[in-house]
Amino acid sequence: MGSITINFANNIQDSVQVGDTAYYTNDPNGVDIVQIGKITAVGNTAIDVTIPNNVVRPTTASFILFSKTNKANTSALKGYYMETTLNNDSTGKIELFSVGSEIFISSK
């Protein structure tokens, strides 16, 4: 295992964090994507990535992308059951325009 620093001409997206996985592609269609490794440090215009010795390094022409683990960065409610109560204390007419919900598997 080694470590590389990837420098960018512009600021890095705010959502990139330590622990995310970095990838690259040289394919214009984005079909052949290579996993670089885990991001170990994030700066304004550079990231440090742990890379196995057998992985071909990206070039300056490579398109760099990243993904987050599905075990982190979740912000919705979790559980098997949820109950919501909506109260209206208005004395005049009122209309409820919309109510939304988000559902996903949370017990795995």
Residue 76 within any structural domain of the chain:
no
Q: What is the mean pLDDT of residues 21-35?
A: 92
Residue 99 within any structural domain of the chain:
no
Residue 41 within any structural domain of the chain:
yes
* Six-digit token string for 45: 């215009």
Query: Which phi-psi region, left, alpha or beta, contains residue 23 (left: φ > 0; alpha: ψ -120 to 50)?
Result: beta
Residue 58 within any structural domain of the chain:
yes
Q: What pLDDT is attached to residue 80? A: 66
Non-local (6+) Cβ contacts of 53 within 8 A are 1, 2
The number of distinct structural domains making up the chain is 1
Residue 96 within any structural domain of the chain:
no
Q: What is the mean pLDDT of residues 4-14?
A: 93
Residue 79 within any structural domain of the chain:
no
Q: What pLDDT is attached to residue 63? A: 94
In terms of residue numbers, what domain contains 34? 2-67
Q: What pLDDT is attached to residue 79? A: 62
Q: What is the mean pLDDT of residues 20-28?
A: 94
- Under the banding of pLDDT at 50, 70 and 90, the label for residue 89 is confident
Residue 87 within any structural domain of the chain:
no
